[in-house]
Amino acid sequence: MLSWEQTAALAAMRCERAWVEIDLAALAHNVQQIKSLLAPQTQLMTVVKADAYGHGACTVARTALQAGASWLGVATIPEGIELRQAGIKAPILILGATNTAEQIRAIAQWELQPTLCTPQQALIYSETLTSLNQTLPVHIKIDTGMSRLGTNWQEAADFVQLVYHCPNLEIASIYSHLATADSPDPTIMKEQQRRFEEAKKAIRLTARYAIATRLTGTKINNLGRQFPRLHLANTAATLTSRNLHYDMVRVGLATYGLYPANHLKQVVELKPVMQVKAIVTQVKTIAAGTGVSYGYQFIADREMRLAVVGIGYADGIPRNLSNKMKVLIRGQQVPQVGAITMDQIMIDVSAIPDLQVGEVVTVLGKDGDLQIGADDWAEILGTISWEILCSFKHRLPRVAIGESKRQKVEGRR
């Protein structure tokens, strides 16, 4: 066991090399911007799966709930438990699949809410919950064209009816997920919405049938009293049209200040929440013709001032950015040179001859008027900004800023 002083010293040391800053004021601003698009009765679910896209799930969840979100979305049971252990009370939907009796017991114990997609799953849920003598709100997922989790839209009404008749399951919502909401061409999204509507109509007929069976004394649940909440929209659909919002929207990316597509940039003003920073650890002059880093992928064409920075691919900088990325120092942009190594990168600082060891380098984020975004890296690498945000490892401590004073985000246990 470390003493309190040793723990504090270790925490400070972890921030002496490289770290991720999480701007909570920007996060709250983004949540409020998203809320401003919604009708008053439409709920906002903030999606905090994958440790809140790398931002730190508990801190993000607390800030988002304060700023107007009322639901949280996670991918896995442990992600949900982490939020509950931090004392977060908001309803938590598990977006991923959960199938075993052991998983179901954990979900019930931690008051999480599962997604149901298949009859086998509904039956094992019902059986397990009956043995626990516990009732659970469940969310029915319909596949309207994503071909991922969900019951086929044409079978949705039958599935809802089955779940309705399973003891100990309460249908809390019915939802689907869009495959192409970020495309400027809405054709496929419209077809998915049409299928969602078709399923909704068929389910309404089922609901009437359910009321009839209730009158004959079979069962009462919220499908009989009130039609379950419907939801379909991710960030892109939320920014596209209110017509896609239904009773709730599930927003991840925009919470973190990024746009899913260029054509959606006009809708709201979002601020990036994450910045990645590192420290200059050595500065040197190299002669013309000197090779830099593994494989000599860079050779100085002139005498050059070179700085070493304490961050590398083991921290989450994709190695494929070698010789392609830039960083910011003192409000200026300078190029990274040579292969990115596991723990360190080299940068050409000839433009800043008096640069000192210990100065802060902005690897991702804003410095003065310049900004490097996750979407800039995504474009160079041919990927999406979601993947960039999720790539930063937990060797980098998350440091929350933008609150009343600097506050360190607890690392993940």
Ligand X SMILES: *Cc1c(COP(=O)(O)O)cnc(C)c1O
List the binding residues: 148, 342
Choice between 252 and 373, CB closer to ligand X: 252
Buried b (16+ CB within 10 A) or exposed e, 143-157: bbbeeebbbebeebb
Instruction: Based on the residue annotation, tell me whether 366 is a catalytic residue of this protein.
Output: no
> What SS3 class is residue 267?
coil
| DSSP secondary structure, 125-187, as one string | HHHHHHHHT--EEEEEEEESSS-SSSEEGGGHHHHHHHHHTSTTEEEEEEEE--SSTTSS--H
Report the residue number whose CB is nearest to ligand X. 252
Catalytic residue list contains 49: yes
Minimum Å distance from CB 326 to ligand X?
26
Among 235, 281, 322, 362, binds ligand X (CB under 6 A): 235
Considering only 55, 177, 195, 229, the residue that binds ligand X (CB under 6 A) is 177
Shortest distance, position 111 Cβ to ligand X, whole Å: 20
Q: For the chain, what is the radius of gyration of the CA atoms? A: 25
Considering beta carbons, is residue 72 or 253 the nearer one to ligand X? 253
CB of 95 to ligand X, least distance (A): 4
How far apart, in Å, are the Cα atoms of 118 and each of 167, 229, 331, 335, 404? 16, 19, 54, 52, 47
CA atoms within 13 A on the CB side of 363: 32
Examine residue 95 and tell whether it contacts ligand X (CB under 6 A): yes
Is residue 305 within 8 Å of residue 347, measured between CB atoms?
no
Segment interacting with ligand X, rule: CB under 6 A, options 100-108, 201-209, 248-256, 373-381 = 248-256
Residue ranges for the binding site for substrate?
148, 342
In the chain, the N- to C-terminal Cα span, in Å, equals: 15
The reply to whether 234 sits near ligand X by the rule CB under 6 A is yes
CA distance 258 to 221: 40
CB count in 10 Å sphere of residue 351: 13
Given 201, 209, 284, 294, the catalytic residue: 294
Q: Which is nearer to ligand X, 27 or 95 (CB)?
A: 95
Stretch 35-74 residues interacting with ligand X (CB under 6 A): 47, 49
Q: How far is the CB of 356 from ligand X (least distance, A)?
A: 40
- For ligand X, the binding residues in 197-216 under the rule CB under 6 A are none
Where do contacts with ligand X occur on this chain (CB under 6 A)? 47, 49, 95, 177, 234-235, 250-253, 260
List the catalytic residues: 49, 294
